[in-house]
Structure 1
Amino acid sequence: DNLSVYKAFGHQHLAEIRQTLSQLQPDFNAEISFVPVRGDFPRGIFAMSYIDTDLTIEEATAIYKNFYADAPFTHVSDRPIDLKQVVNTNKAVISLEKHGKKLLILSAIDNLLKGASGQAVQNFNLICGFPEDMGLRLKPSAF
């Protein structure tokens, strides 16, 4: 029943986003506009970010799909996304849209399962040599 903006343009994770982008693309120096919106729901984070780029939507989508090809919990969707696709799962779902020069990047996660608890199980699996997704093959609340 309610939405609000949370730490527009100054969110604590913006530095981490910049650092990751710089690691992936050392010459990255573009401005990032990040305006988190929070809602009156018990679980989930829906993030919207955009950049100016000359890439086509097909090129951008191919880059994302290639980058996440071996990530069992990250899915790049060809359709619009929503929180219900990820709630009660360890998934991160991403979709892209192109509007003129702007590439809009949308992502959704369940902040409880894809957050610290799911990461702990995923790391445990990797350390112990178990399948990375063991114990995390969960169905969303809507599919």
Structure 2
Amino acid sequence: MIIRLDNVGIAVRDIEEAISFFTDLGLSLVGRDTVSGEWADTAVGLDGNHAKIAVLQTPDGHGRLEFFEYLHPDAIETQPTQPNEIGMHRVAFAVDDIEESLAIAARHGCHPLRAVATYQDIYKLTYLRGPSGILVMLAQELKP
């Protein structure tokens, strides 16, 4: 049996904001659509499911995020996930310049939860809140 991760789906408040943030970080928009109908109700398990969707891809083509902005039923606001909560934790990206990536995030009003940390002279990394409170980790590998 072959299995591969296709994408991670994330419900967002504003799909345009999410697309803007993640494309500025370097992902590319693969496609977008509006979905509804019986097939969508069946697949997702929500009656009257109607959502805008967008798929973004990392430059290497191996990672994808699929964003959903629910039109019906209404999206349910929750508190942003904390790093120690059970469940969907964060989306992590390897970047070649963490300072440049943080400057891009800052232009979207997104800043580290604390600061950039160095892990055993291997990585510089930080967590930040992206659009809709998405917890995002940025990590830059340190070259010897």
Q: TM-score, normalised by structure 1?
A: 0.32
More helix by share: 1
More strand by share: 2
